[in-house]
Amino acid sequence: MLEFALMTLPDLLLASNSPRRRRLLNLTGWSFEVRAVEIDETPLTGELPAGYVLRLAEAKARAAAGLAPQGALVLAADTTVADGDVILGKPADPDEAAAMLRRLRGRTHRVFTALALFQPESGRLETDLCATSVPMRHYSDEEIARYVASGDPLDKAGAYAIQHAGFHPVDGLQGCYACVVGLPLCHLQRSLLKFGLGPRAGVPAACQRELGYACPVFEAVLRGEDAG
């Protein structure tokens, strides 16, 4: 007699190949598969940062819908760095990376991460947005040069990674650290509740342990407040 193993379907299909997003999502207990998609990420004329990331997150979710196992929700995210209303994407080369870092040095900017959850069977879409104020320290030109030479800034919006062990660009953050990394988990938890996917054990605590950060805003986020 042939025995057939039952396949366990994932809760989510993650429309991203970002190792940072995969690492954070692994903390949550929700099962997922990865199906990266490529879309045009060029900002529209006059587009503001919040609208930009929301548009791209939705576009990624819809682009990945045909790849989702039946019953799985598609999760997509998009993150950008903004200096005022100016969108700072991934630098094109080392010179642009250094220029972005000089522009942000010693000032506070904002990081926007949008989430899109799309249910292909019903066509239901839910989005959420986290906006975090990020104060940068007064790093030196020599530190910028070393960091740019490492190659790390070239695939990062705004030309930096908050979690980079050697550079440590941010000083005194009071918002959502995971937003700046690229996947605000408490926003994800409250969004998944709309689809009946309850929280897995201790998502906020797992996030804070992983990032080494005592988050001051997670309770407000989980209450549904506009916090980030």
Rounded alpha-carbon distances, angstroms, from residue 78 to 32, 91, 106, 162, 220: 18, 16, 25, 16, 22
Tell me, yes or no, if 78 is annotated catalytic: yes
Please name the residues in contact with 95: beta carbons below 8 A apart, sequence gap of 6 or more.
none
| From 78, 85, 95, 152, the catalytic residue | 78
* Best CA proximity match to 184, nearest among 135, 129, 134: 129
The whole-angstrom separation of Cα 179 and Cα 185 is: 8
How many Å apart are CA 70 and CA 135, to the nearest integer? 43
Residue 225: is it exposed, middle or buried by C-beta count within 10 angstroms (0-12/13-18/19+)?
A: exposed
Burial readout 111-149 (b: 16 or more C-beta within 10 A, e: otherwise): bbbbbbbbbbeeeeebbbbbbbebbbeebeeebbeebbe
Question: Please, which residues bridge with residue 34 across strands?
Answer: 14
Q: How far is CA 97 from CA 39, 146, 150, 159, 166, in A?
A: 23, 12, 11, 5, 16
Active site members: 78
